[in-house]
Structure 1
Amino acid sequence: MADESTGAFASYAPFLGTYTPRLDDKGRLILPAKFRAQLASGLVVTRGQERCLFVFPMSEFQRMHEQIRQAPVTSKQARDYLRVFLSGAHDEIPDKQGRLAIPSALRAYAGLDRDVAVIGAGTRVEIWDAAAWEAYLAEQVESYSDTAEEVFPGAF
Structure 2
Amino acid sequence: MLLGTFVPKLDEKGRIILPAKFMGDFANGVVMTRGQERCIYLFSQREFEELHERARQAPVTGKKGRDFLRMFLSGAAEDMPDKQHRVTIPPMLREYAGLDRELTVIGAGNRAEIWDTASWNAYYEATEAAFADTDEEVIAGLF
- Alignment TM-score > 0.5, same fold: yes
What is the DSSP-based 3-state SS (H/G/I as helix, E as strand, rest coil) of the residue aligned with 1:128?
strand
CA distance in 1: counterparts of 2:141 and 2:30, whole angstroms = 34
Gaps of 5+ in 2: none
Tell me which of 31, 52, 74 is aligned to 2:39: 52
Task: Encode CA deviations 1:44-87: one digit per residue, 9 max, x unaligned.
Answer: 00000000000001111011101111111111111111111000
Please give the per-residue CA displacement for 1:109-139, whole angstroms capped at 9, x wherever unaligned.
0000100000000000000000000010011
Given candidates 110, 123, 128, the residue that maps to 1:123 is 110
Percent of pairs identical after alignment?
57
What does 1:1-156 correspond to in 2, within 5 Å? 14-147=1-134, 149-153=136-140, 155-156=142-143
- TM-score (normalised: structure 1): 0.88
Q: Highest relative contact order (Cα 8 Å, sep 6+), 1 or 2? A: 2
Contact 1:55–1:124 (CA under 8 A) maintained in structure 2: yes
Runs of 4+ in 1 over 3 A off after TM superposition: 152-156
Q: Which range moved further: 99-108 or 29-38?
A: 29-38
Inter-partner Cα distance in structure 2 for 1:148 and 1:84: 33
Size of the aligned set, in residue pairs, is 143
CA RMSD, Structure 1 to Structure 2 (Å): 1.2
> What secondary structure, in the 3-state scheme, does the structure 1 residue paired with 2:127 have?
helix
**For the Cα contact (< 8 Å) 1:19–1:118, is it kept in 2?**
yes
In structure 1, C-alpha distance between the alignment counterparts of 2:41 and 2:140, rounded to whole Å: 26
Distance 1:148 1:103, change over 3 A: farther
The structure with the largest alpha-carbon Rg is 1
Given that 1:149 and 1:155 are in contact with CA atoms closer than 8 Å, whether structure 2 keeps it comes out as no
Q: For structure 1, which segment, 71-80 or 100-109, has the greater mean C-alpha deviation from structure 2 after superposition?
A: 71-80
Structure 1: gaps spanning 5 or more residues: 1-13
